[in-house]
Amino acid sequence: MDLAYSPEQLEFRERARAWLSKNVPTEPRPAGDHGGAAYDREWQRRLYDGGWAGLNWPKEYGGAGLSGIQSLIWFEECEKADAPQYGLMTIALTHAGPTVIARGSEDHKKFHLPRILKGESIWCQGFSEPGAGSDLANVQVRGVVDGDHLVITGQKTWTSGAQHADFQELLIRTDQDSQRHAGLTWIICDMRLPGIDVRPIKTMMGEAEVNATFYDDVRIPLANVLGEIGQGWSVAMSTLAFERGTTFLRDQISLSAKVERAIELARRTRTPDGRLAIEESSIALKLAQLKAEGLAHRAMALANVSNVDRSGMPGPEGSMVKLLTGATHKAINETVAEILGLDFLDYDENRPSNPWAYDYMWGWVLSIAGGTSEIQHEIIADRVLNLPRAR
Amino acid sequence: MDLTLTSDQEQLLAAIVDCLEGELPLARLHQPEAQRETAEVARIRTMAELGWTRVSLPTDFGGAGLGLAEEALLFREFGRRLAPASILAIVLGGRIAALGGATGLAEDILSGRRIVAFATPEASVMIGETASGPVRLFSTGPADLALLVTPGAAALLDMSGAPSNPRPCLDRTLMMRSADLASSQVLVRTDGPQVWSQALLLLAATLTGQAEASRDMITEYAKIRRTFGRAIGSYQAVRHPIADMAIRCEQSKCLVLYAALSLDENRPDAGTQAAAARAIAQVAATRNDDANIQLHGGIGVTDDLDAHLYMKRAIVYANWLGGAQQQLKALLDAALGDI
> From CA B172, how far away is CA B35, in angstroms rounded?
13
Let me know: does A99 contact A239? Beta carbons within 8 Å. Answer: yes
Predicted pLDDT of residue A255: 92
Q: What is the pLDDT of residues A316-344, one digit of tens each?
A: 778 898 899 999 999 999 999 999 999 99
Predicted pLDDT of residue B325: 80
Mean pLDDT over residues B277-296, rounded? 97
Share of chain B above pLDDT 70, in %: 99
> Does pLDDT of A243 surpass 70?
no
Find chain B residues with C-beta within 8 A of A298's C-beta.
Answer: 258, 339
Active-site entry in A77, A129, A169, A243: A243
* CA proximity to A173, closest of A189, A193, A192, A150: A150
Predicted pLDDT of residue A155: 98
- The answer as to CATH 2.40.110.10 being correct for domain A123-232 is yes
ipTM of this complex: 0.94
Which residue is closest to B1 within chain A, CA to CA? A3
Identical topology for domains A7-117 and A123-232:
no
Answer yes or no: do A390 and B331 touch at CB < 8 A.
no
Indicate the SS3 state at residue A215.
Answer: strand
Beta-carbon contacts below 8 Å between A and B: 158
> From CA A291, how far away is CA A285, in angstroms rounded?
10
Phi and psi at A2, nearest 5°, equal: -160, 160
Mean pLDDT over residues B276-300, rounded? 97
> Does pLDDT of B84 surpass 80?
yes
Q: What is the pLDDT of residues A146-164, one digit of tens each?
A: 999 999 999 999 999 999 9
Which residue is closest to B283 within chain A, CA to CA? A289
Find chain A residues with C-beta within 8 A of B233's C-beta.
Answer: 381, 385, 387-388
Answer yes or no: do B3 and A384 touch at CB < 8 A.
no
Find chain A residues with C-beta within 8 A of B279's C-beta.
Answer: 288-289, 292
Answer yes or no: do A3 and B261 touch at CB < 8 A.
yes
Answer yes or no: do A324 and B247 touch at CB < 8 A.
yes
Secondary-structure percent of chain A, ordered helix, strand, coil, rounded to 5: 55, 15, 30
Mean pLDDT over residues A288-312, rounded? 89
Residues 269-328 of chain B whose Cβ lies under 8 A from any Cβ of chain A: 272-273, 275-277, 279-280, 283, 324-325, 327-328
Q: What is the pLDDT of residues B8-59, one digit of tens each?
A: 999 999 999 999 989 999 999 999 988 999 999 999 999 999 999 999 999 9
* CA proximity to B152, closest of B193, B118, B113: B193
Phi and psi at A5, nearest 5°, equal: -85, 140
Average pLDDT, chain B: 95
What pTM does this model have?
Answer: 0.95
Average pLDDT, chain A: 93
B185 in A contact zone (CB under 8 Å): no
Per CATH, the homologous superfamily of domain B7-192 is Acyl-CoA dehydrogenase/oxidase, N-terminal domain (1.10.540.10)
A5 in B contact zone (CB under 8 Å): yes
Mean pLDDT over residues A375-381, rounded? 94
pLDDT category, B339, cuts 50, 70, 90? low
Sequence-distant (≥ 6) Cβ neighbours of residue B216 within 8 angstroms: none
Mean pLDDT over residues B157-174, rounded? 96
Answer yes or no: do B243 and A384 touch at CB < 8 A.
yes
Q: How far apart, in Å, are the Cα atoms of B103 and each of A99, B98, B188? A: 64, 5, 11
Residues 297-356 of chain A whose Cβ lies under 8 A from any Cβ of chain B: 297-300, 302-303, 306-307, 309-310, 317, 320, 323-324
Q: Where are the domains of chain B?
A: 7-192, 195-333
Helix (H) or strand (E) holding A146: strand A142-146
> Does pLDDT of A68 surpass 70?
yes
> From CA B125, how far away is CA B182, in angstroms rounded?
10
Predicted pLDDT of residue A10: 95
Which residue is closest to A291 within chain B, CA to CA? B332
Predicted pLDDT of residue B96: 96
Predicted pLDDT of residue A317: 78
Let me know: does B287 contact B235? Beta carbons within 8 Å. Answer: no
Predicted pLDDT of residue A244: 59
A264 in catalytic set: no
Q: What is the pLDDT of residues B119-155, one digit of tens each?
A: 999 999 999 999 999 999 999 999 999 999 999 999 9
- The answer as to CATH 3.30.70.20 being correct for domain A240-384 is no
Architecture of domain B195-333: Up-down Bundle (1.20)
Mean pLDDT over residues A191-210, rounded? 96
> From CA A106, how far away is CA B214, in angstroms rounded?
51
* CA proximity to B207, closest of B323, B294, B315: B315
Q: Where are the domains of chain A?
A: 7-117, 123-232, 240-384
Answer yes or no: do B272 and A302 touch at CB < 8 A.
no
Predicted pLDDT of residue B333: 84
What CATH class is the domain A7-117?
mainly alpha
Residue A235 one-letter amino acid: V
Q: What is the pLDDT of residues B211-226, one digit of tens each?
A: 999 999 999 999 999 9
Predicted pLDDT of residue A245: 60
Could you tell me which residues are beta bridge partners of residue A192? none
A375 in B contact zone (CB under 8 Å): no
Q: What one-character-per-residue DSSP string does B179-205 give?
A: EEGGG-EEEEEEESSHHHHHHHHHHHH
Q: What is the pLDDT of residues A16-52, one digit of tens each?
A: 999 999 999 999 888 767 899 999 999 999 999 999 9
Residue among B1, B240, B251 whose CB faces A69 most closely: B1
Q: What is the pLDDT of residues A90-139, one digit of tens each?
A: 999 999 999 999 999 999 999 999 999 999 999 999 999 999 999 999 99
Indicate the SS3 state at residue B22.
Answer: helix
